[in-house]
Amino acid sequence: MNIAKILITLGIILVIAGLLWPWIQKLGLFQLPGDIRVEGGNTRFYFPITTSIILSAILTLIFWLVRRF
C-alpha cells in the first residue's frame, strides 16, 4: 500500500472527526461504562478503555474498506 494513500486517508478521517467533534461530545462517546475516571485533590486521571475499543473497531473497519478498494 502506498504511504501517500495512507496519509491522505488519515488526513480525511481527522478532518471529518474534527468537523463532527461537537456532535460526538454530545453523544457522550467519552463517558461510556468501562471508561476509568479517578478524581482526587488536585489530580484527575481518565483512561477511556471502552471508548478506545470502540474507536479501534471503527478505524479497523474503515482501513479494511480503504485497503480493499
How does pLDDT run across 2-54, given as a tens digit for each residue?
888 888 988 998 999 889 888 877 876 677 888 898 999 899 998 889 888 98
Which cell numbers hold the place of 33?
461504562
Which cell numbers hold the place of 64?
479494511
Residues forming a β-bridge with 45: 38
Q: What is the pTM of this model?
A: 0.56
* Sequence-ordered alpha helix ranges (H) in the chain: 3-26, 49-68
